Structure formats: C-alpha cells, structure tokens
Amino acid sequence: MEIPNIYFPNLGLSFHLNSEAFSIFGVPVYWYGIILTSGIILGTFLACYIAKKEKLDPNIFMDFVLYDIVFALLGARLYYVIFNWSYYAEHPGQILNIRQGGLAIYGGVITSIIVAVVYTRIKKVQFLHFADIATYGLILGQAIGRYGNFFNKEAFGGYTDNLLAMAILKSDAKPPISADVLAHVKTFNEFGNAQYIQVHPTFFYESCWNIILLMFLLIYRKHRKAKGEIFCLYLIGYGIGRFWIEGLRTDQLLLWQSHIPVSQVVAIISIILGIIGMVYCRKINRIE
C-alpha cells in the first residue's frame, strides 16, 4: 500500500498527491499552475455571463483579463518577495521562480484593482460597475486557486484535531512548520511508522469562505442600491474571512521588524475601505 502524503484522520480520507501533473518535452507542468489557470478561466466566464445580464459587452472583461494576468502575477509575486525579503536577499536567483508557489493573493488583487482603474478610464467604462461584475469572477478564481496550495502541501495552519484536521507527511510539508505543530507529530497505525504533522487546512477554509461570499453576493445583486456595492461588500467580506484565516496560518508574511501578519493589516484596511465605499456609493451612485 502506498503511504498517502495527505490524510484527513477524522474523515477517513487519504490522498497521495504529486505537485507535478505531467511534463512536456521534459519540462514539468505543476498542478499549482493548472489550478490557478483554471480559476482564472472559470472566473472570467462567470464575469462575462453576468456582464451579459448587466448589458455590458463581455469582450471588455475578456480583454481585461488578457492585460491583467501578467500584472496580477507580477503583483502577487512582488508582494510575496517584499514581505519575505530576508530569504530572497540571500537567494536572489529564486525571486522569479514561481513554479512551485510563492504568490500572494492580496498582491494580485491590489495590482488588478490598479489595472482596472486605468483600463476602465481608457475604455470609458464606469469603474464601479465594471468592478462589481469583475468581483464575481475574482472570488470564484480565488476559491478555485486555493487548491493549488493543497497540491503543494503548503499554506496550512497550526495544530488542530477538529473534524477537518489535515495530516501531511512530515517530509512532504513545505516549511515553515511551527513549534506547536512539531510538538504534535503523529504516526497512524494504518500507515506504519510514517510521521505526519496535523494542521488546520486553511486553504480549504478560505475556499469555502469565498464560495459562501460568492453565493451571498449573487443573491444580493438583485437587492443592491448602488453600483459599486458588490465590490465594496467583497472588500469587507473577504477582509473579515482573511483576517481570521491568516491568524491560523504558520507561514504568515510579516511586516518588517515585527510579528504582525501583513495580510491581517491589509484585511483591516480592506474592511475599512469597503465600509467607506458602501457609504460613498449609496450617496453618489444610487441605482434608480
């Protein structure tokens, strides 16, 4: 019997996952990239579908994705490198190596918002209306993309024995692994002497949170009172979820010279901006 490298002991589910899906002419293709690309494609389709219902040309969103994808990846990588500079200062050759992860969602989102502001000005499309529709695709893409972390055995939380506890073969887990996790290294009789760390599957928590948020915003769409509300509610809703989930993770990016997780700071700012944005949108952009 092949020893699984991921096991959910309280659910009785086991998996043996490789980060590499296949190779083309000897060049490995990783599940991380496949899942990330799938999230972008499906998210774009959803945004285009809603655009038709909103009587906007779907091609505006298709074109935006083509422009944005490079900037979003660069922004996601830049965010990760900046707040993990102690490592990359010593390993500059790894700065452009994104094949096995190292992309920060918040970096990609911030960059995409900047690109969207410029793009909508050029296309003479109202930004807030555009942002509302694009938000649906963004959330779906985020929900799907998180499973890339699952295949990479990364972005997990501290020790837990709750129903969803995920055990990762210790030798396969990507560092850093916190002391509280190492204090609870486990072996399971059914898998011999293999050592596992047992952790919060934070990738799953975030994916589920995003799906719930997406469902809420799809329902709320018919009740919105102003353009821009969907985007602002995303800032609030995702910020709340990310603040909580980030607190569970063991691989937090920290503000320089501190122990403060930068994504929790960004999440708080996101919530505040979302609330301010809701008030602003209802004052100047009400739907009659």
Res 71 pLDDT > 90: yes
C-beta separation of 250 from 157 below 8 A? yes
Q: What is the mean pLDDT of residues 193-200?
A: 95
234 falls within a domain: yes
pLDDT band at residue 124 under the 50/70/90 scheme:
very high
Give the pLDDT score at 2: 78
Domain around 204: 6-284
98 falls within a domain: yes
pLDDT band at residue 288 under the 50/70/90 scheme:
low
Assign 96 to helix, strand or coil.
coil
Comparing CA positions, the residue from 150, 135, 217 lying closest to residue 7 is: 150
Residue 285 burial (10 A CB sphere; 0-12, 13-18, 19+): middle
Q: What is the mean pLDDT of residues 211-226?
A: 94
Give the pLDDT score at 258: 83
Give the pLDDT score at 59: 95
CA distance 81 to 89: 9
Neighbours of 206 (CB within 10 A): 25
**Average pLDDT, whole number, for the chain?**
92
Res 287 pLDDT > 70: no
187 falls within a domain: yes
Give the pLDDT score at 101: 63
Q: What is the mean pLDDT of residues 62-79?
A: 93
142 falls within a domain: yes
CA 189 to chain centre: 35
CA distance 177 to 175: 5
Give the pLDDT score at 1: 60
Split into its structural domains, the chain has a count of 1
Give the pLDDT score at 100: 58
CA distance 30 to 6: 17
113 falls within a domain: yes
Give the pLDDT score at 75: 93
Res 192 pLDDT > 90: no
pLDDT band at residue 150 under the 50/70/90 scheme:
very high
Give the pLDDT score at 86: 78
Q: Determine phi and psi for 170, rounding to 5 degrees.
A: -55, -40
Question: What residue type is 168 in one-letter code?
Answer: I
Question: What residue type is 151 in one-letter code?
Answer: F
DSSP-derived pairing of the beta strands 186-187 and 6-8: unpaired
1 falls within a domain: no
Give the pLDDT score at 286: 66
Give the pLDDT score at 10: 96
pLDDT in tens, 75-123: 999 998 888 887 787 778 777 777 656 788 999 999 999 999 999 999 9
**Cis bond leading into 4, ω under 30°?**
no
pLDDT in tens, 250-278: 888 888 888 899 999 999 999 999 999 99
Res 199 pLDDT > 70: yes
- The neighbouring-strand residues paired with 159 are 199
Give the pLDDT score at 257: 80
Give the pLDDT score at 88: 81
